[in-house]
Amino acid sequence: MSGERPGDPRFYRRAGPFTLAEILAAGGLTAPEGADPARRFSGVAALQHAGPEEVSFLDNRRYVPELRATRAGAVILHPDLRDACPAETLPLLTETPYLAWARIAALFFPPTSPLPGIDARAAVDPSAKLGEGVEVGPFAVIGAGAEIGPRTRIGAGTVIGPGVVIGADCRIGPQVTISHALIGDRVVIHPGARIGQDGFGFAITAEGFVSVPQLGRVIIEDDADIGANTTIDRGSAADTVIGRGSRLDNLVQIGHNVRLGRYCVVAAQAGISGSTVVGDFVMMGGQAGLVGHLRIGERARIGAQAGVMSDVPAGSDVLGSPAQPVRAFFRQVAALKRLAGRRPGKEAGKNGENAPASRGEAKEAD
């Protein structure tokens, strides 16, 4: 149990070996002149563990020492780092090493295909429609009128509510609950996610709270990826929308009526309050929090633990709580550090108040 090599056969399906020509084609790579296209490779591994029959990669310059010492048969890397590659190792060159690595790793370890059929312990309503090649795991429940597209996998213990529509080639993990939702093709929903439950809406009275009916849906567009234990509330009157290709990490909260654009990234423990509209290609760091009814512009970047309380223009980078432009945030941090570093001196007043800590600070104060 070394724990060092990828692809434990107990958990992953392995393919290969593959020739150099096949690897180059899959990753869009360039090999050095004279390299044998028929040379075979058996797998992939990290720089420090790869052997002569394995492919590795480098996408971060801080690991150049590991590159210089690697025994890998081939390494995917940027052309700028070619000279750091050992003479015995084939440099496979590309402007996008991490993308090529993703494709090569998937070549050797392709995703498992669904096993068509309904487990005898599952409960599927007779009015539900299941496409060809659907897999339904043990103790899963599929409600009345639900539609499951071809080759979609429904994990053990998952509950698909009445009327839910799920597209083709989706992977729904174990113990997921989905209600009031329309889900596109090739969507991945990881274990424990909760989709389509009531939003957090209520009226306040002198006697307590009155729940407001949540009458919308959740729309998840094609190719989205929803992390484990993430929650997406259905809309109150409008729909909650997760745009095409967006990636939500584990433990993300999406409030009712939120509209998340295409190809957004939301890191773990971030939360978006109701009715906020997020543009395409927005990135949010871990534990970021957004209040409701905001507009976040296209390609904005929101730092980890940012508290966003006002609209963010397109292309902006914000940090802090309350969130503000990055330069303003770091100027304030620097000013606080200077203030915190000051110490009273003998030359300033009877008790030394307000004296700079050093000549450098006195000069800055002037």
Q: DSSP for 296-361? A: E-TT-EE-TT-EE-S-B-TT-EEETTTTEEHHHHHHHHHHHHHHHH----TTSSSS-TT--SSHHH
Residue 185, CB-side half-sphere exposure with 13 Å CA sphere: 5
Contact 185, 166 (CB under 8 A): no
The reply to whether 256 belongs to the active site is yes
Between CA 176 and CA 159 the distance in angstroms is 6
What's the token pair of residue 290?
A: 């957004």
- Of the residues 49, 78, 256, 293, only one is catalytic, namely 256
- Collect all residues with Cβ–Cβ distance below 8 Å to 26 and sequence separation of at least 6: 18, 103, 104, 107
The values of phi and psi at residue 331, to 5°, are -60, -40
DSSP for 161-187, please give it: -TT-EE-TT-EE-TT-EE-SEEE-TT-
Asked if 180 and 196 touch (Cβ cutoff 8 Å), the reply is yes
Instruction: Specify whether the CB–CB gap between 333 and 324 falls below 8 A.
Output: no
Contacts of 268 (CB under 8 A, 6+ apart): 227, 249, 250, 251, 252, 286, 287
> Residue 55 forms beta bridges with which residues?
44, 74
3-state secondary structure 117-157: EECCCCEECCCCEECCCCEECCCCEECCCCEECCCCEECCC
Pairing verdict, β 202-205 and 208-211 = antiparallel
Which residues fall within 8 angstroms of residue 181, CB to CB, at 6 or more apart? Answer: 161, 164, 165, 195, 196, 217, 218, 219, 220, 234
Task: Pull the structure tokens for residue 70.
Answer: 């690697």
- Which residues are part of the catalytic machinery? 256
